[in-house]
Amino acid sequence: MAGVTDQNDSGNDSGSRRARNHRTTAAGTPATSRVRMSAAQRREQLISIGRQLFAERGFDATSVEEVAARAKVSKPVVYEHFGGKEGLYAVVVDREVRSLLERIAAALTAGHPRELLEQAALALLDYIEQEPHGFRVLVRESPVLSPAANFSSVMNDVAHQVEHILGDEFKSRGFDPKFAELYSQALVGMVALVGQWWREARKPKKEMVAAHLVNLAWNGLSHLEAKPVLLTRKAR
């Protein structure tokens, strides 16, 4: 809504602000003045509030009224920044998608396929542990966004990265590389589903979860290690 101004963000001239900030009550105590925010600061505040509400309640149960109330602004301010609830949600989801993919891409530094699998599993579990609100937003389905803006699509992007790694490994071992996509989807899907379960269970410890995931993926059921450990990170 163009032209709508946040009353908290707009102000009079500097002299009026100084007078307002030094205003006192009848009892002689200074009156509390509201903290003014720049447009960029207000936008970040609304994104943070929206992220928390969407994580707690989902898209449908979250309202523009509640976002505005928590930010202590009027509803038109939310519309001015995002055009509505759908726009705010899209920004929140886009940020989480990029954050998770960047984490996983940055984690893939080892050259050995087993270590790469460990790093990918740990990167996802780290994200779940450190960004619980963001992860909840991603795993919730929303009718307002395309299938490209949900957790399944993020994991599909990760699987494509793993596919290239597996393809090279398959070629070096004389396997048919056309099956690399199938295996990458299976591996990433396994890690993603376990990650969703671990989000609620929170035990065993993160490093142990990753070690057992890699144990199954790397060794297979017929050659499981009784006490698997990570090569890339010492278990705590």
The pLDDT of 13-20, averaged and rounded, is 45
Helices (H), ranges, the chain? 14-21, 39-61, 64-71, 75-82, 85-107, 113-130, 132-139, 151-173, 180-201, 206-214
List, for residues 138-195, the tens digit of each pLDDT value. Answer: 887 666 555 555 677 777 877 887 788 788 878 888 889 899 899 888 988 898 889 8
Lowest-confidence region among 72-86, 111-125, 140-154, 164-178: 140-154
Residue 132 CB: number of other CB atoms within 10 A? Answer: 12
Closest CA to 97 of 47, 145, 155, 57: 155
Full-prediction pTM beyond 0.85?
A: no
pLDDT tier at 200, thresholds 50, 70, 90? confident
Compute the distance between CA of residue 188 and CA of residue 123 in angstroms, rounded to an integer.
12
- What's the Cα-to-Cα distance from 166 to each of 5, 135, 174, rounded to whole Å? 53, 27, 12
C-alpha distances in angstroms, 44 versus 40, 70, 99, 172, 225?
A: 6, 13, 16, 48, 47
User: Is the predicted pLDDT of residue 97 greater than 80, yes or no?
Assistant: yes
Longest dimension (CA), the chain: 86
User: For 191-208, what is the mean pLDDT?
Assistant: 90
Non-local (6+) Cβ contacts of 200 within 8 A are none
Q: Mean pLDDT score of the chain, rounded to an integer?
A: 81
Q: Which residues pair with 236 in a beta bridge?
A: none
